[in-house]
Every structure is written in structure tokens, then in C-alpha cells.
Amino acid sequence: MTWGRLLQDLAMGALMVLVGIVWTYATWRRWRVVDPPESWWWFDSQAMMKKLFGHPIAFRLSYLTGGAGITIGAFIVILRLVTLCQKLGYCSDTSQ
């Protein structure tokens, strides 16, 4: 893996964690992006979910989406940090 790809993966993983945190916070604070009016159902997926399945299901899905972003992003960051540690020679590579 090249250095550029490694750093790109680290940045994207960190961005995923950040977006997941912001999305979870937005759900908790009920920002308009997460809690749009039902009249927006024809162009907003959150409003469509609220209209089809109800308010509680839409919010649970928003929390699930934010949590998934945090989890997947953290997993990517941890894997790439281990790779970086091995590349720099600070960690032993047990596969060889």
C-alpha cells in the first residue's frame, strides 16, 4: 500500500467518524436535516421514512446510521493505523 493511499484511507475513516458523530448529534438535537416536515416527503428521504413508518422508526434509523458511520470509520482508522505502525517499523508484523 502506498503512502498516499494509506493517508487517504486514514482521512476518509476520520471523516466518516466525524460525519457519524454530527449525524447522531443532529438526531439528538432534532435538527431539520434529520427531522424534516412530512410535506417534504417527495424529495427528502428522512421525511419519506417518517411518513411511511412513523416518527420513532425514522429516528431509530437515524441513530443507527450515525452509529454505523462511527463504527465503520473507527474500524478503518484502526486498521490503517496498524498498517502505518507496521510500515514505520514500530509494530512487528506477525504474518511473516
Residues sharing a CB contact under 8 Å with residue 79, sequence separation 6 or more, in sequence order: none
pTM, to two decimals = 0.82
* 14-37 average pLDDT score: 92
- In tens, the pLDDT along 56-76 reads 999 999 999 999 999 999 999
Predicted pLDDT of residue 45: 86
Domain ranges of the chain: 3-88
C-alpha cell at 75: 474500524
